[in-house]
Amino acid sequence: MTATTGVGRGAGPVRQASLREHNLGLVLRQVANALAPISRAAVAAATGLTRATVSSLVEELIAGRLLLETEPSPRSGAGRPAVGLALAPDGVAGLGLEVNVDYLAACVVDLTGAVRHSAVLPGDRRGRPPGETLRALADLAADAVATSTAPIAGATLAVPGLVRPDGLVRTAPNLGWRGVDVRADLCIRGLDLAPAGLAVDNEANLAALGELHAGAASSFLYVSGEVGIGAGIVLDGRLFRGARGFSGEIGHVAVRPDGPPCRCGAHGCLEQYAGQEAILRAAGLVPGRPGEAAGRLAVAAERGNPAVLAALAEAGRALGVVLAGVVNVIDVPTVVLGGLYVPLATWLSPAVRSEVDTRVLTADWESVEVVPARLGVRAAAVGAAGSVVRAVRDDPARWLARG
Amino acid sequence: MTATTGVGRGAGPVRQASLREHNLGLVLRQVANALAPISRAAVAAATGLTRATVSSLVEELIAGRLLLETEPSPRSGAGRPAVGLALAPDGVAGLGLEVNVDYLAACVVDLTGAVRHSAVLPGDRRGRPPGETLRALADLAADAVATSTAPIAGATLAVPGLVRPDGLVRTAPNLGWRGVDVRADLCIRGLDLAPAGLAVDNEANLAALGELHAGAASSFLYVSGEVGIGAGIVLDGRLFRGARGFSGEIGHVAVRPDGPPCRCGAHGCLEQYAGQEAILRAAGLVPGRPGEAAGRLAVAAERGNPAVLAALAEAGRALGVVLAGVVNVIDVPTVVLGGLYVPLATWLSPAVRSEVDTRVLTADWESVEVVPARLGVRAAAVGAAGSVVRAVRDDPARWLARG
DNA sequence: GGCGATTTGTTAAGCGGTTGAATTATTTGC
DNA sequence: GCAAATAATTCAACCGCTTAACAAATCGCC
């Protein structure tokens, strides 16, 4: 009986040092989440730590250039005025990279969450050798690094495909990649990736983090519609990766078990109803370059083209059926439509909402919101960069202890 | 920018006391997960704590009657013989309760995971007033408590319906319950529920924990087929409850969006293909008492009744389509078929497996297993009781510090 | 049988980190 | 100008882990 492998839960032992690491993060996040500069005393009150401890922790964070003291805020009541604390804009930054079907992107996000640099290099990357694409990306990345006044804590790369937890790209069908070890193949001038290393993740996952970063709710399902359809699941401010790291593959959830065949080998997958090519086909438009399909569809829909409107309604319905299923299973309060679906949200959302409302069991008392994404194409790159600074925020001690 | 509410992550501050609480749990779980009695030195080596610290922690756990010293194990090599440590069978126990359509159940599980007492009271509970049912359950529970030599740390109740995180039963359609506040209405003779309180949870969730307890993998999807169909999701040894606590409602995931109408108001829900009544209908059998349908189906299938075999194959296919979708979304390596599906697994599994294998995107390199549940009807009650002792195991300090 | 090697478990000193109280600093209000 | 109020720092005390030394119990080898 009872044979869970390993110890489960909070794994390791806890020494006093871990205690400080935890509290360091607690204080840093408290400052980060405050809307305005906040005093040590307020941090102490909010965290439950004593002011003495908070002072000591803050001192360390300031020395590590993660926090700054600001001018006292507008006075209120008697007493010594509080010294404000805020995140240091030049303390650390994260580098976010993205390889996609028709562009490469790089951006730098600082600790405060501000996007400090952002560059996109258009170009069709389908079927090109990974090495060539990665070299071009490395150049773009090196430029981004060169512009940063803050030290770069690490980099994260977004790829439209299945990525193993260790960073190996299992397959990125639309790029034509299979088994690419990005971590070994990418080296960026002016940036030593050894310490934090390069993280690689699915484009939908990182775009979801980008939305979180941009102020979306703390729990939501992000749907990334492109040639394929992926999803990133954010629960309670954290990315949910499933048991083995390949969560969110909603593009191959069945809409109709005996529907049209899909390139995955199954029948009636969502991609065959709401993928970019399926929508174009249903609308009677010719497939073109991957980047501009959404625009063409939006223009035609705006003009009232009936075939396009019908195609979008049908796609929305299929999307709604699948999303309702997902919500029934993981019970998220919000669905964010991203990628291709952002410019088409006006026409897709009604059908999606209607399906979700009738099919989600708990919809009667726990409403489910369907909203378009706030970020555009850059969502994944911003999310990737944001995930780096988020990692520093979650465990500042590791960053402070760097060689 | 960046406006996650609250602090997220590891919530509270960490004082030295929390440190000890954590390590107390670490040591206890290490002993629990060992297959045989284990020495202090081995615990130290496995956890990374020093032997001195482990000794101190063990002393506290022995004083609290959670651990026992056993005879030294068969010798091996030189050196002073080790004193074995094992979970104390009489240190604490958990009470598990279940209200279901056609029976009530109560059981007691001790810290080692052994079921010390188990009682089932058959009887149709559909449409009966909740108060009456709860009184009958309280009697059953009081008997269970009376038999226990170990102090009862708390109780958990399994209900076939939607349960709010605070324990309010939102709705249990097959019982005819709506908005029942079990925690207020249930009081058990001889057991003070005040300290740990009474937890209430969905039957599928707790049955999933029961399977975990019975040694299933540490990540799996448990499917509970009864009149309705629910699922419990276990990831990395932990129950996954979704963002708002209502996860796993797979009974109303669509198999065919324009299929037969479902009592939930939508069309083509899984319940209409693989629910108890749907299978009986498709098999041409009359609905009977809820408890015996599975048996009748299994007997008829055994005899080779073609209508029944076809009905089961069809149900298996529908189940497979939906489960494949769920696996695509949360990427679990194992699906456990429970409840009604256990006796029917022989006929359901092939269709389920075939659908899962063709529809799960990652199935080519990360196989998905489909297995029948190990526990029978009692899974939920055992899981409920197990969840109580599991809570003690995860945070022994709280139990040791009881008034 | 005795002695060293080996492993377990305990004890005592030390150190890191938080607490709590006292102290200093800086403002408002009367 | 002084009391009240609030912010931040200093310092002794305490708590829990670690290190290192030691005591206990067994094996193996001569």
| DSSP per-residue letters across A158-193 | EESSEE-TTSEEEEETTTTEEEEEHHHH---TT---
Q: Give ∠ CA A125-A130-A135 in degrees, rounded to 5.
A: 90
Angle between helices B306-330 and B293-302 (to 10 degrees): 120
pLDDT above 70 covers what percent of chain B? 95
**Nearest nucleotide (C1') to alpha carbon of A20:** C17
pLDDT band for position A251 (cuts 50, 70, 90)? very high
Please report residues of A whose CB lies closer than 8 A to that of B2.
32-33, 112-113, 213, 215
**CATH superfamily entry for domain A93-205+380-389:** ATPase, nucleotide binding domain (3.30.420.40)
Q: Which nucleotide is nearest to B24 (CA to C1')?
A: D16
Mean pLDDT in chain B?
91
Q: For residue B315, what pLDDT is reported?
A: 97
Name A272's Cβ contacts closer than 8 Å, sequence gap at least 6: A255, A259, A260, A261, A262, A278
pLDDT of residue A212: 94
Q: Report chain A residues whose CB lies below 8 A from the CB of B218.
A: 4-5, 8
pLDDT at B7 over 50: no
CA at A37, C1' at D6: how many angstroms apart? 17
Topology of domain A216-373, CATH:
Nucleotidyltransferase; domain 5 (3.30.420)
B39 touches strand C (CB under 7 A): yes
Q: Which CATH number fits domain B93-203+381-400: 3.65.10.10, 1.10.340.70, 3.40.50.720, 3.30.420.40?
A: 3.30.420.40
B110 contacts B126 by C-beta, under 8 angstroms: no
CATH 1.10.10.10 residue ranges of chain A are 16-74+81-87
| Res A399 pLDDT > 60 | yes
Q: Check CB contact of B107 with chain A, cutoff 8 Å.
A: no
Residue A78 has pLDDT above 80, yes or no: no
A367/B contact by beta carbon, under 8 A: no
Looking at the partner chain, which of B112, B245, B329 has a beta carbon nearest the beta carbon of A329? B329
A4 touches strand D (CB under 7 A): no
Residue positions counted in chain A:
403
Contact B29 A9 (CB under 8 A): yes
Rounded to a whole number of angstroms, the distance from the CA of A196 to the nearest CA of chain B is 21
The shortest CB-CB distance from B32 to any of A2, A248, A325 is to: A2
Contact A285, A277 (CB under 8 A): no
In which residue ranges of chain B is CATH 3.30.420.40 found?
A: 93-203+381-400, 216-373
Which member of B10, B22, B359 has the closest CB to residue A254? Answer: B359
- For residue A75, the model assigns a pLDDT of 65
Query: What confidence tier does B4 reach under pLDDT thresholds 50, 70, 90?
Result: very low
- pLDDT at residue B74, as a whole number: 63
Q: According to the model, what pLDDT value does residue A5 have?
A: 34
Q: Which of A79, A81, A113 is nearest to A96 (CA)?
A: A113
Query: Are residues B242 and A265, on separate chains, in Cβ contact within 8 Å?
Result: no
pLDDT in tens, B106-152: 999 999 999 999 999 999 998 899 999 999 999 999 999 999 999 99
Q: How far apart are the first and last CA of chain B?
A: 46
Nearest chain A residue to B232 by CA: give it.
Answer: A329
Q: What is the dihedral of CA B305, B310, B315, B316, to 10 degrees?
A: 100
- HSE, CB side, 13 Å, CA atoms: give it for residue B246: 29
Task: Determine which of B2, B250, B362 to mutate to test the interface with A (most A C-beta atoms within 10 Å).
Answer: B2
Q: What pLDDT is attached to residue A7?
A: 39
A17 touches strand C (CB under 7 A): yes
Contact (CB, 8 A) for B260 and B310: no
Instruction: Please tell me the predicted confidence (pLDDT) of residue A73.
Output: 65
Residue A63 beta carbon within 7 A of nucleic strand D: no
Q: Do B361 and A394 count as a contact with CB atoms less than 8 A apart?
A: no
Give CATH 3.30.420.40 domain extents, chain A. 93-205+380-389, 216-373
A200-248 tens-digit pLDDT: 999 999 999 999 988 878 999 999 998 899 999 999 999 999 999 999 9
> Which one has a higher pLDDT value, B195 or B259?
B259
Is the pLDDT at B336 greater than 70, yes or no?
yes
When comparing pLDDT for A329 and B184, which is higher?
A329
**Option in B5, B242, B329 nearest A253 (CB):** B329
Is A359's CB within 8 Å of B329's CB?
Answer: no
* C-alpha closest to that of B270 among B169, B352, B375: B352
Nearest to A22 among B14, B265, B317 (CB): B14
Strand D: which bases are under 7 Å from protein Cβ?
A: 4-11, 15-20, 23-28
B41 CA to D13 C1' distance (Å):
32
Q: What percent of chain A has pLDDT over 90?
A: 78
Cβ of residue A13 near strand D, that is under 7 Å? yes
The pLDDT value given to residue B17: 84
pLDDT (average), residues A348-352: 97
A12 in reach of chain B (CB within 8 A): yes
| B8 pLDDT higher than 50 | no
Is the CATH code 1.10.260.40 the one for domain B16-73+82-87? no
Considering the domain delimited by A16-74+81-87, tell me its CATH architecture: Orthogonal Bundle (1.10)
Between residues A22 and B72, which one has the greater pLDDT? A22
Ranges of CATH 1.10.10.10 domains, chain B? 16-73+82-87
